[in-house]
């Protein structure tokens, strides 16, 4: 099975610039997860969204790289049946004429 969450948008503190440390900005998270489905052992998309928002808000990351690495750990810990995880975090408003994003894909055993 594969679950997808596309362009989940919320505000959080993220970035290294002075104004990014005090003013929440929009981020967009897109996630794809392949997992082994068994009866009553599914991946709950609401829980995925809650993990993402909670960790992003709690940690107030300086770097997208650090956010991605922690999200991978937290999501896989909660849903060990995930075999392939792909996450993109975008900062759509940081530059006027571009959307900046970082992407990571990892295959679990």
The distance between the two most distant Cα atoms of the chain, rounded to a whole number of Å, is 48
Q: Specify the pLDDT at position 58.
A: 98
With a pLDDT cut of 90, the percent of the chain lying above it is 94
The pLDDT of residue 39? 87
Give the tens place of pLDDT for each residue, 28-42: 999 999 999 988 889
**Strands lying side by side in the sheet with 98-107:** 2-12, 25-35, 82-95, 98-107
Range of the domain at 14: 2-107
Among residues 63, 57, 58, 56, the alpha carbon closest in space to that of 16 is found at: 63
* CATH number assigned to the domain comprising residue 85: 3.30.1130.10
Number of domains in the chain: 1
Give 24-76 pLDDT, tens digit per residue.
999 999 999 999 998 888 999 999 999 999 999 999 999 999 999 999 999 99
Residue 37 is predicted with a pLDDT of 92
Q: What is the pTM of this model?
A: 0.93
């Amino acid at each position: 099975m594969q679950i997808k969450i596309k362009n989940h948008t919320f505000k959080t503190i993220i970035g290294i610039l002075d104004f990014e440390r005090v003013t929440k900005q929009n981020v967009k998270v897109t996630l794809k997860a392949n997992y082994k489905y068994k009866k009553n052992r599914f991946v709950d998309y609401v829980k995925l969204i809650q993990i993402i928002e909670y960790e992003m808000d709690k940690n107030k990351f300086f770097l997208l790289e650090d956010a991605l690495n922690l999200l991978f750990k937290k999501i896989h810990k909660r849903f060990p049946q995930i075999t392939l995880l792909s996450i993109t975090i975008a900062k759509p408003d940081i530059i006027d004429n571009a959307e900046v994003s970082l992407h990571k894909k990892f295959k679990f055993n």
